[in-house]
Structure 1
Amino acid sequence: MLKRRPTNSGFQFRHLKLFLVVLFIHISAEIVSAQDISDTVKIKTVEVYANKIIKEQAGKTTTKIDSIAMIKALTSNLSELISQNTPIFIKEYGRGAMATASFRGTAPSHTQVSWNGISLNSPMLGMVDFSTIPVYFTDNVSLLHGSGSLSEKSGALGGVVRLDNTTNWQNKFSGRLLTGIGSYGTKDEFFQINTGNKKIQSQTRAFYNYSNNDYQFVNKFIADIDPKTGNYHYPTQRNENSRYENYGLLQEFYLHPTEKSVFILRYWYQHNDRSLPRLLSNETDNNANINRQKENAHRPVAEWKYYGKKGTLSLTSGANIQFLNYQLKTKVSGAADQLVINSDSRSSSYLFKASYNFNISDHLSIITGANTEINSVYSKNSPLNGKLQGYDRQRQDHSVYIQISKSFSDKFSANLLAREDIIGGKSTPFIPSAGMEYHPFRDKGYFLKGNLARNYHQPTLNDLYYIPGGNPLLKPEEGIMADMGSGYSGTIRNTTFHSTLNGYFSRINNWIIWLPTPQGYWEPYNMKRVNASGFELNTGISGKLYSIDYHLNGNYAFTQSINRDDPRNWADESIGKQLPYIPKHSANLLFNLARLGYHFTWLWTYYSERFTTTSNDKTSKLDVLYPYFMNNLYFGKQFKLSKNKFDIELKIFNLFNEEYRTVLQHPMPRRNYSLLIRYDF
């Protein structure tokens, strides 16, 4: 019988308490000494690209998705935005199905996703389903690559995806309506209304999308043989049992109680209901093996910021609570549908975070902070035999850090970061990071930068306690990561351009991998080592040619993620091979033209072959997914109606009707369409 366990509170808090006492004494003293601060809070309204080094970011590789890409992806989910505009590889299990990320050749759990300061990663699985996050619910999306992610949190061996929301304090009343229809019975509805003044702002957003998702495909895993010619005939089938329905609400309040502080409240609710299509090799009736998954997520966040003359105090508290139900039904002859599996889980993460950015001078700053995260999972599975399986566990994670940043001149800056984590009552080894950035030419945009860090990723609660298969003896994954990069940015007349090239190397010991066992279930193990290395190229240009505004941005990534484990037996052929489902080459391109309200956008993506086995075998079509190019084309017209805007846009996905897969036995749609109407007021 599954029983709930009492909370284990016997943790070692001595170092954490000492740090918090010192931190808040320092903060209190600084606030008292800063009573003559400036008479307004500086609200950033315009973004300017400059060549000046930001000392706190020295050496870190960061990418911000530009505003044009954000607008074009307003009705999309985060998986589409990321795959089309960044070097991250997104593994999709079909349209509307699960989508996970591989950042710099690492596992999905090595990519951390934060939304306004709280983690969206599931404490149960450790990863994020990017297909469930609407782009419409965020204003800024940025990436912290590799070792640069330690300023956010530990454990992101690949990197961090940051989602942030902002407000316009000058707004009195505005809003947006979007409606769209598309292929396969797809319907999209989006709504936003903003109101307020210089003291308080309210922002409300809501969305609804639905699709039958019943696209056609050629099933090459099932074939009939012509008795006369001996040729194979592959059937054309529909993507049955793959309907999805999602809706959500985001409410935000921004309060300006004094000239020196800002208080923010946010609440995000979302419901996802989707059927999971069967594998292509399944030859049973359409009413057999029906998989369905429902999810409800609640994410409240409260944030307070105090702006002093010499520093900024930030306090954040939030939660990520998810309820998940999975059911498997099958058809039994002469009887009603039989419920084979009924699995329920509740996962929750409660976060408390404090940080203080103290500017000692224009050339020296110190950032200190402390985080507490309480993670819990209650999971139960009711199989057909009636034996209840599952687990109920909680873990408290604490972290303290300090970063010192120094500008030695206008050309050179560096920073040092030290972090200490206490995970489940056990201290992790010291986690340091060091970064530097050098601009050799005072008036030019050329720069060199580098970063070196150590990082740790803890096993998820499923890794440790899942029944059957959890392994409580797993070791944390340990990474040594190095980054080196250079770039150039500048402006000539009406043309702005930039280009960056970053190389990286990560040595990750005790990599966690799930492998099949003789008992018939899967179990996680620690691999000895994985070496992930490669480079990322980003380049862009934008400007005005005659009366045409143009914008071009492209990414290319070369990724090697090599298994350096010891052979598990004499037949192990995985050593020295690329990890499954990680492409060596990937690229994407966004090209946009606009003139007199007309706009045209071309999105192009490319992925090289991906192996489905650890041995990188190519003996059958089950062993490799072939390379593919994807082309999307958007064009539309914007009309101005007094102070309002009306926009109509046609989107063509998979322009050249390519047949492709991102995951074995999960088909993707051929050419399809969407018509979107947007009204801004």
Structure 2
Amino acid sequence: MKQITTLFLAFATCAIAISQTSLDSIQRLDEVLLSDVKLTRYASGLKIETLTDSVLQKNKRSFTDLLRYNSNIYFKENGYGMVSSPSFRGTNASQTAVVWNGININSQLNGQTDFNLISTSNYSSISIRSGGGSVQYGSGAIGGTVHLNNVLSFDTHFDNELQLGYGSFNTKNAHYKFSYGNKNWSANFGLAYRDSDNDYKYLGSTRTNENAAFNNLDINLNLGYVLSDKDVLKVYHQNFRSDREFSATILAPSKSKYESEDYRSLLEWAHIGNTLSSSLKAVHLLEQFKYFENKDTNNFSKGQANTWQVKHRLTNTFSKQLELSIITDYSYITADGDSFNDPKRNAFSATAILSHSPTQNLQYNLNVRQDVISDFKSPFVFSGDVSYQLASFYTLKFNASKNFRVPTFNDLYWNPGGNLDLKPEDSCQLDLGHEFKYHTIGLKLNTFYIKTSNLIQWRPNQFSGYWNPMNIANAKQYGLEAELALERQIGKHRFDFNLNYSYTKTEDLAKNQALFYVPIHMANAALAYSHKDFSTYYQHLYNGAVKIIGGSLKGFDVGNLGFGYRFKTKSKLSYQADFSIDNLYNTYYENVALRPMPNRNFNLKLTLNF
């Protein structure tokens, strides 16, 4: 530990002592606009996919649908709109980190993020970063990270958007957002509401999806103020509320309900100096829930967790080729509820990130991190990545990392069943990437290998009769990912084609068998066409068979079709009508055994911009 401390002090001393040059204008702009600068600046050897505005517009049904049809992430969804758990490169839901404006927001209670409790409407961009990221984003960033970003722009503008939608199963959507900016101020606000009876028919039977209604409300407010030519103050706030019933399975009825609420607040002061820049963040995260076994009664169990965090980043730019960042953060976390005895956690971490570009074609990053956590010992983690442009059309990328996931409050303190003797999960990963770019054609090929030890799993205890979490499993995942993107403009006709394919092999090393709910083959494709104000698209998803307890769940193909037309006026006002048909072929399929997904359904949407 003394050696690690000395290492960080040496980095910090060098960062202040060495002479430097000015930041270039592009880097200054990044400092002002983007709260999560680590996403792109220190990840040159990793695969990052940022979803464009046109993709977000086509996929505003749910966050799960957006990623299911536009990424290599597999989702285990307990019926449409119910609990949605990602599997990133064969890892589980608690090994995928969701990052909100640079802050890891995975639950302190169960270590996961339910992707059906996130709205896509109120974010400026959504990015998917493949590979280990625990050095930069902490616990759970093993398979990959999903980034939700709000950009504050200080260009002069004032834009409004109102969106209204209605679809099958009495599904209603409403969304309003505005964005304002001048040279001193920037603000954006978003309000999104979604409500559905969700009572779709089970194909091949007379039954419907019972006890499955849901509604959610997302409020997002972000402000920025230029204090001086070197200082910017930014405030981000989000409140997401959800009330949903938990649907039945084919075999068992349900009357349960789940109410949840998340508050996220972030205050950031960014200083952009000639050679030294810094960012100081103060964060508060609140997650709380009520679970009703019978929604017709007032009996429920409840729980909540509070996280207070202070995070500081100091960046020294020695030259355009060399940069060093030192990041420190402290978190104080508390929880209470019917199944907890008021647990508390103090956590401190220190991170050093060195970024170097020896030549125009070569860039690499070296990262180290040490966490000190009050209720167990956390591993020392590190990562390195390199990007080398071998030709104008070909870039070779490589990254290696050691990552971790800490036991959650549920794992440690759940009463009865918690286990205070748990160790953090630790994981090692290798990733080799090839990126080809020729005119308007882009191709990415990645091979990966992940090995994880001390996997935490809940198992029945034959002596107590309760389920207990234990470090009993080791696993490995390896495979191939491919992404193809093609754009073509012929006069006023535009064509866009995107294809994602993943081949994933997994193994529980103790049992010598594949992990549950990980498809070996998965692919999605999208073809879009536009001519003047008319647009149309087709999406297709192939999900291969997955292993489940006692057998396997067969694979499926699902297609979606959509049309849109933009009407223009002589004023700033414009509006667009969109119509989509989901599950075009009326396919019966299940993401989770005994939980059918929706039959063919329709959605109509009207969007006004002014």
TM over 0.5: yes
**Whole-angstrom CA distance in 2 between matches of 1:249 and 1:415:** 37
Shift of the alpha carbon at 1:167? 2.7
SS at match of 1:290: coil
CA 1:325–1:182 in structure 2 vs 1: closer, same or farther (change >3 Å)? same
Question: Of 356, 364, 370, which residue of structure 1 is paired with 2:314?
Answer: 356
In the alignment, structure 1 segments of 5+ residues that lack a partner are 1-11, 48-53, 219-233, 331-336, 381-388, 566-574, 618-622
Shift of the alpha carbon at 1:59? 2.0
Equivalent pair of 1:149/1:159 in contact (CA under 8 Å): no
Question: Of 241, 259, 275, which residue of structure 2 is paired with 1:310?
Answer: 275
1:536 maps onto 2:481 in alignment: yes
Equivalent pair of 1:256/1:263 in contact (CA under 8 Å): yes
SS at match of 2:587: coil
Q: Deviations along 1:308-347, whole A, 9 cap, x unmatched? A: 22242111121220120001128xxxxxx666x6210011
CA 1:408–1:197 in structure 2 vs 1: closer, same or farther (change >3 Å)? closer
**Whole-angstrom CA distance in 1 between matches of 2:526 and 2:424:** 39
**Whole-angstrom CA distance in 2 between matches of 1:18 and 1:321:** 35
CA 1:404–1:168 in structure 2 vs 1: closer, same or farther (change >3 Å)? closer
**Whole-angstrom CA distance in 1 between matches of 2:121 and 2:520:** 31
SS at match of 1:82: helix
Equivalent pair of 1:111/1:159 in contact (CA under 8 Å): yes
Aligned to 2:564: 636
Question: Of 229, 239, 242, which residue of structure 2 is paired with 1:272?
Answer: 242
1:163 maps onto 2:131 in alignment: no
**Whole-angstrom CA distance in 2 between matches of 1:18 and 1:296:** 42
SS at match of 2:121: helix
Letter in 2 for 1:301: L
**Whole-angstrom CA distance in 1 between matches of 2:600 and 2:189:** 34
Matches of residues 513-524 of structure 1 in structure 2 within 5 Å?
A: 513-518=457-462, 519-524=464-469
Letter in 1 for 2:393: G
Aligned to 2:423: 475
SS at match of 1:173: strand
SS at match of 2:274: coil
Equivalent pair of 1:34/1:308 in contact (CA under 8 Å): no
Equivalent pair of 2:15/2:315 in contact (CA under 8 Å): no
1:589 maps onto 2:525 in alignment: yes
Equivalent pair of 1:41/1:261 in contact (CA under 8 Å): no
Question: Of 111, 134, 147, which residue of structure 2 is paired with 1:126?
Answer: 111
**Whole-angstrom CA distance in 1 between matches of 2:355 and 2:188:** 35
**Whole-angstrom CA distance in 1 between matches of 2:605 and 2:104:** 32
Out of 369-378 and 512-521, give the one that drifted further.
512-521
Q: Deviations along 1:250-305, whole A, 9 cap, x unmatched? A: 111111121112211111112100111122112x6xxxx41011112111111121
Matches of residues 451-462 of structure 1 in structure 2 within 5 Å?
A: 451-462=399-410
Question: Of 345, 356, 359, which residue of structure 2 is paired with 1:395?
Answer: 345
Shift of the alpha carbon at 1:497? 1.4
**Whole-angstrom CA distance in 2 between matches of 1:664 and 1:43:** 49
Aligned to 1:240: 210
Q: Deviations along 1:168-187, whole A, 9 cap, x unmatched? A: 32234221000000101111
Matches of residues 637-652 of structure 1 in structure 2 within 5 Å?
A: 637-641=565-569, 642-652=571-581
**Whole-angstrom CA distance in 1 between matches of 2:334 and 2:42:** 34
SS at match of 1:155: coil
Q: Deviations along 1:136-164, whole A, 9 cap, x unmatched? A: 12111112222355333353111111111
1:671 maps onto 2:607 in alignment: no
**Whole-angstrom CA distance in 1 between matches of 2:601 and 2:488:** 31
CA 1:25–1:88 in structure 2 vs 1: closer, same or farther (change >3 Å)? same
CA 1:520–1:656 in structure 2 vs 1: closer, same or farther (change >3 Å)? farther
**Whole-angstrom CA distance in 1 between matches of 2:604 and 2:26:** 44
Shift of the alpha carbon at 1:118? 2.0
**Whole-angstrom CA distance in 2 between matches of 1:440 and 1:16:** 36
Aligned to 2:135: 150
**Whole-angstrom CA distance in 2 between matches of 1:36 and 1:662:** 52
Aligned to 1:84: 69
Equivalent pair of 1:487/1:500 in contact (CA under 8 Å): yes
Shift of the alpha carbon at 1:517? 3.0
Equivalent pair of 1:326/1:343 in contact (CA under 8 Å): yes
**Whole-angstrom CA distance in 1 between matches of 2:235 and 2:574:** 29
SS at match of 1:258: coil
Letter in 2 for 1:368: I
Equivalent pair of 2:271/2:278 in contact (CA under 8 Å): yes
Question: Of 220, 241, 253, which residue of structure 2 is paired with 1:250?
Answer: 220
Q: Deviations along 1:110-147, whole A, 9 cap, x unmatched? A: 00101112222110000000011110121111122223
Equivalent pair of 2:544/2:556 in contact (CA under 8 Å): yes
Aligned alpha-carbon RMSD (Å): 2.6
CA 1:462–1:15 in structure 2 vs 1: closer, same or farther (change >3 Å)? farther
Shift of the alpha carbon at 1:56? 3.4
CA 1:196–1:450 in structure 2 vs 1: closer, same or farther (change >3 Å)? closer
Shift of the alpha carbon at 1:526? 1.6
**Whole-angstrom CA distance in 2 between matches of 1:424 and 1:146:** 28
SS at match of 1:109: helix
Aligned to 1:50: none
SS at match of 2:471: strand
CA 1:482–1:16 in structure 2 vs 1: closer, same or farther (change >3 Å)? closer
In the alignment, structure 2 segments of 5+ residues that lack a partner are 34-39
CA 1:16–1:375 in structure 2 vs 1: closer, same or farther (change >3 Å)? farther
Shift of the alpha carbon at 1:524? 1.5
CA 1:245–1:528 in structure 2 vs 1: closer, same or farther (change >3 Å)? closer
Equivalent pair of 2:133/2:142 in contact (CA under 8 Å): no
SS at match of 2:68: helix
Aligned to 1:570: none
**Whole-angstrom CA distance in 1 between matches of 2:585 and 2:320:** 54
CA 1:35–1:347 in structure 2 vs 1: closer, same or farther (change >3 Å)? same
* % identical aligned pairs: 26
SS at match of 1:217: coil
Aligned to 1:658: 587
Shift of the alpha carbon at 1:393? 0.8
Equivalent pair of 1:117/1:316 in contact (CA under 8 Å): no
Question: Of 37, 47, 52, which residue of structure 2 is paired with 1:66?
Answer: 52
1:446 maps onto 2:394 in alignment: yes
**Whole-angstrom CA distance in 2 between matches of 1:268 and 1:28:** 36
Letter in 2 for 1:482: L
1:511 maps onto 2:440 in alignment: no
CA 1:29–1:252 in structure 2 vs 1: closer, same or farther (change >3 Å)? farther
CA 1:38–1:449 in structure 2 vs 1: closer, same or farther (change >3 Å)? closer
Equivalent pair of 1:178/1:677 in contact (CA under 8 Å): yes
**Whole-angstrom CA distance in 1 between matches of 2:227 and 2:552:** 59
**Whole-angstrom CA distance in 2 between matches of 1:58 and 1:675:** 40
Q: Give the structure-1-normalised TM-score.
A: 0.83
SS at match of 1:80: helix
Shift of the alpha carbon at 1:379? 2.1
Letter in 1 for 2:449: F
**Whole-angstrom CA distance in 2 between matches of 1:127 and 1:645:** 40
Shift of the alpha carbon at 1:19? 8.4
Out of 35-44 and 171-180, give the one that drifted further.
35-44
Aligned to 1:428: 378
Shift of the alpha carbon at 1:38? 8.3
1:624 maps onto 2:594 in alignment: no
Equivalent pair of 1:499/1:540 in contact (CA under 8 Å): yes
CA 1:379–1:143 in structure 2 vs 1: closer, same or farther (change >3 Å)? same
Question: Of 100, 114, 130, which residue of structure 1 is paired with 2:99?
Answer: 114
Equivalent pair of 1:357/1:368 in contact (CA under 8 Å): yes
SS at match of 1:392: coil
CA 1:550–1:167 in structure 2 vs 1: closer, same or farther (change >3 Å)? farther
Q: Give the structure-2-normalised TM-score.
A: 0.93
Shift of the alpha carbon at 1:585? 0.8
**Whole-angstrom CA distance in 2 between matches of 1:309 and 1:159:** 34
CA 1:240–1:410 in structure 2 vs 1: closer, same or farther (change >3 Å)? same
Question: Of 232, 236, 260, which residue of structure 2 is paired with 1:295?
Answer: 260
Equivalent pair of 1:246/1:270 in contact (CA under 8 Å): yes
